[in-house]
A and B are shown apart, each in its own frame.
Chain A
Amino acid sequence: MLNETVFLVPTSYFVILSAVLFSIGVAGVLLRRNAILIFMSVELMLNAANLAFVAFARSLLDQGGQVFVFFVMTVAAAEVAIGLALIVAIFRSKRSTDIDELNSMEG
């Protein structure tokens, strides 16, 4: 009975949703010009991966994928700490977080 309820939604639905989220994330990184929005898009990519991990873990009946999600969340938190610190530092110098203005070097 438990299995019936758990497997009501096929795994492929989750995977497709995660692929959509991932693509939105990639598009966001490529199209957005504000550092914070780019950063948010990267987080979306990581969370798309998390969704795929839990979906696969459920269908494979294996805890490995769920454990991986914890690692990804931890690393994402560490990344946020560093990323926001960098964004604040650059905002103090330039009064802007537009990445098109990061052009003090040639090329």
Chain B
Amino acid sequence: MNLPTLESINLAASLPVLILAGWACLLTAIDLFISPERKHWTAWLAVLGLLASGVALGFEAVAYSQRGAVSAFGDMAVVDGFALFLQGVFLLSAFLGILLALNYLPRHNIERGEYYTLLLFTTSGMMLMAMAADLIVVFLALELLSLPLYVLSGFAHPRLDSEEAAMKYFLLGAFASGFLVYGIALTYGGAGTTLLSGVVEALVGGGPAPNPVLAIVGMGLILVGLGFKVAAVPFHMWTPDVYQGAPTPVTAFMSVGAKAGGFAALLRVFLIAFPATGDTWGVVIAIIAALTMILGNVVAISQSNVKRMLAYSSIAHAGYVLVAVAAARYPEVEPLAVSAAVFYLLTYAVTNLGAFAIVIALERDDGTGVEVEDFAGLAKTRPWLAIAMTLFMLSLTGIPPSAGMVGKFFVFQAAVQASVGDPLILTVTIIGVLTSVISAFYYLRIPVMMYFRDGEGQANVQPALGVALALTALATFLLGVVPAPFLQMARHALLTLAG
């Protein structure tokens, strides 16, 4: 074992994460000196941290375009295009997550500075996850991502819904990390190392490889652990209750960030460490993808609570990304499939945060007002809000001109390329297209409500929420109309072996 040197640690490469985690620690202390009626200062200080991290990320991206991927912490983390792209998505989601909460928290009497610091902690966990090149880092990042989210789900304490949501999320999340850790332990036993690049060598047969069977069982357990995090069927049971019970800004952030974080780990672990066993996990993930898309979309139809409907919708969308993951096991399709997956995560992030921003605008101070009927008449009272919501719903369905359509298109394109000689992927792709059609049924119910039904159509848009709405609506529209520059970026989001 080599002793770490300053070069191998390479602090500069992980600066975006370090800045954010460090600032979160500092902000926890600073927050103590901010009086309760000025908690929005904490929010702006948190935004400052996100900005600083974003600037560092910008420098990293420029450096990456010149010198390519570098590793940090002695090959345990890697800064490549994939990591940089997803880190950008996480920072953006966190920024929007703060904007959504800025007025929501005081309105619901739950304004505490910890919201913002916990948000920074979980974001730094997601960013670390994107660069994890060792199973230890995957585990630590996953916990750093999850633990603050458990607390955030229960943030509306003592509201019972919120407490129950936190409890369920915590118990099932901890259960899932149990599977993950045990899976990592078996992989370690089977491959002799926890480095992703070492695992692949051991499995291909180059290393000592004491026991490949152990590693494959470990891989299965890791899949279960990560499946919980991305809410894939059959590990999705917690999602509806948690999404419904958690405070809406937390739900919005969680549905986007935690899912993208889970997929970052899933893509990296399975494509870097286990390509040799692609036949096994490719089939399993393809079947999970099909089940996830079917269940998410079909059950969403019968939901009357919009938060709960969006929870099932988020399960369904995990299915579409899983299609890309399953397609990525073919080396010739991998670059396309990986960039399709990360681009899909970006489109889903802006669309879903926007949709939740509207739900927040409609939600009354007692937590009601989030039923589908509450959207009735919104087109007359708040025409712009109705237009934005229609755009988000089109995007979630995958109808142009919206981000979601471009995202789905590239996922299916990758899947079709992979389906040459693989009837299973072809079937899953067809299921994906069909379930998208089914999803139109429940997504478009909301525009129908807004435009063709009479109702009070009450909404309360405060400035920060308005900015978040404008940003997400603009992004959803632009990604749908001129996706080229962002696709170009996603094309560079390639996975690199550490070292």
A residues engaging B (CB < 8 A)? 15, 18, 22, 25-26, 29, 35, 38-39, 42, 45-46, 48-50, 52-53, 55-56, 59-60, 62-65, 67-68, 71-72, 75, 78-79, 82-83, 86-87, 89-90, 92-94, 99, 102, 104-107
Contact = CB atoms under 8 A, between A and B. Distances in A.
A11 B163 CA distance: 43
Contacts of B171: 29, 35, 38-39, 42, 83, 99
A49 B193 contact: no
Given A22-B182, A53-B185, A105-B161, A86 B143 contact: no
A102 B139 contact: no
B170 interface: yes
A75 B151 contact: no
B1 interface: yes
B188 interface: yes
B240 A63 contact: no
Contacts of A22: 178, 182
Contact of A86 (B163, B175, B177, B240): B163
B185 A56 contact: yes
B187 to A, nearest CB: 10
B188 A105 contact: no
Interface string B162-203: 011111101100110111011011101100111000000000
Interface residues of B, number: 43
5 contacts: A52-B185, A65-B188, A68-B188, A71-B140, A106-B308
B160 A94 contact: yes
A13 to B, nearest CB: 13
B245 interface: yes
Contact of B164 (A26, A62, A90): A90
B189 A15 contact: yes
Interface string B356-388: 000000000000000000000000000000000
Contacts of A42: 171, 174-175, 178
Given A42-B175, A64-B188, 11 more contacts: A38-B171, A45-B179, A46-B181, A56-B185, A64-B136, A82-B151, A90-B164, A99-B168, A104-B245, A107-B240, A107-B308
B438 interface: no
B423 interface: no
Contacts of A39: 171, 174
B296 to A, nearest CB: 14
B42 interface: no
Given A62-B192, A89-B158, A83 B170 contact: yes
A105 B184 contact: no
Nearest to B305: A106
A10 B308 CA distance: 51
Contacts of A46: 177-178, 181
Contacts of B301: none
A104 B158 CA distance: 14
Contacts of A72: 139, 181
A25 to B, nearest CB: 7
B224 to A, nearest CB: 10
B210 A60 contact: yes
B178 A89 contact: no
Interface in B121-160: 136, 139-140, 143, 147, 150-151, 154, 157-158, 160
A93 B160 contact: yes
Sort A-B residue pairs by CB-CB distance and give the 4 closest, nearest first: A45-B178, A56-B189, A52-B185, A49-B181
B139 to A, nearest CB: 7
A75 B188 contact: no
A75 to B, nearest CB: 5
B158 A79 contact: no
A6 to B, nearest CB: 17
Nearest to B139: A71
A75 B175 contact: no
B430 to A, nearest CB: 29
Nearest to A14: B189
Contacts of A65: 185, 188
B432 to A, nearest CB: 25
Nearest to A78: B147
A63 B136 CA distance: 13
Given A64-B194, A68-B194, A107-B240, A90 B150 contact: no
Which has the most chain A C-beta neighbours within 10 Å: B143, B165, B182?
Answer: B182
Interface string B53-79: 000000000000000000000000000
